[in-house]
């Protein structure tokens, strides 16, 4: 794809359909490396679908998709260790503690034990979860689950952050604390020396635009 190497994300004519229903139609995008993109639109406009395609969890129906220089879906295998995905639902292991969820994630990514432990404790502390990390997730509030899910999304220090409603269930204190982990790439403390690109889906246009370098607005079944 010409020009794909100049951008963290490049989309040309992206379509995604569910049966006869178009979730995305004709989406074009160039997002430079290190930039923050806000994805806005009404319910049903395909925001989460777009994020899942970029995360290699869904295949596009048509169009060209390049993420971090790799073509999707054919080169999806190159990307899974480079993407941090925060879904609309935390999807944590309820019978494990918050810390155990993160330790399990670290093993999946093959992180050395000491390095993983240092990252886990640092991130938990940033989000005010250190003292509660030993409790089972099933005993957590929705906001506490979101904080652990945020820690999990960045534990392997990804080059691309894909965030679906990252402020969900967070109080103002939690939203402010999370900026050090998933805010604009220039604000992320762990990204020193790295180029991190961020894509965030939001229902709060004012807040999303304040943290974005670019905005992609989706209509129902259409990329605008």
Query: Is the CB of residue 64 less than 8 Å from the CB of residue 1?
Result: yes
**Residue listed under structure tokens 């952050």:** 161
**Separation of first and last alpha carbons in the chain:** 22
Dist CA 123 CA 34 (whole Å): 21
Q: How many Å apart are CA 1 and CA 44, to the nearest integer? A: 29
CATH of domain 4-223: 3.40.50.300
> Domains of the chain: which residue ranges?
4-223
How does the average pLDDT of the chain come out, rounded? Answer: 93
pLDDT tens string 124-169: 999 999 999 999 999 999 999 999 999 999 999 999 999 999 999 9
For residue 179, what pLDDT is reported?
94
Give CA–CA dist 36/208, Å, rounded. Answer: 10
Looking at residue 2, what is its pLDDT? 41
């Amino acid at each position: 794809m010409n020009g794909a190497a100049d951008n963290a994300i490049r989309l040309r004519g992206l379509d995604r359909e569910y049966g006869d229903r178009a979730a995305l139609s004709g989406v074009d995008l160039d997002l430079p490396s290190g930039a923050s993109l806000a994805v806005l639109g009404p319910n049903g406009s395909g925001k989460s679908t777009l994020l899942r395609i970029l995360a290699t969890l869904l295949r596009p129906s048509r169009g060209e998709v390049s993420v971090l220089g790799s073509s999707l879906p054919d080169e999806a295998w190159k990307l899974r260790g480079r993407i941090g995905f925060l879904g609309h639902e935390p999807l944590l292991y309820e019978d494990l503690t918050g810390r155990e969820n993160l330790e399990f994630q670290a093993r999946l990514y093959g992180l050395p034990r000491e390095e993983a432990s240092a990252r886990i404790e640092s991130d938990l502390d940033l989000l005010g979860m250190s003292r509660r990390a030993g409790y089972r997730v099933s005993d957590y509030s929705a906001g506490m689950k979101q904080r652990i899910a945020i820690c999990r999304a960045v534990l392997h220090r990804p080059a691309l952050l894909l965030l679906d409603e990252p402020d969900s269930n967070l109080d103002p204190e939690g939203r402010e604390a999370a900026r050090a982990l998933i805010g604009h790439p220039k604000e992320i403390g762990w990204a020193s020396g790295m180029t991190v690109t961020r894509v965030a889906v939001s229902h709060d246009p004012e807040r999303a635009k304040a943290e974005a370098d670019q905005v992609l607005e989706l209509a129902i079944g259409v990329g605008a």
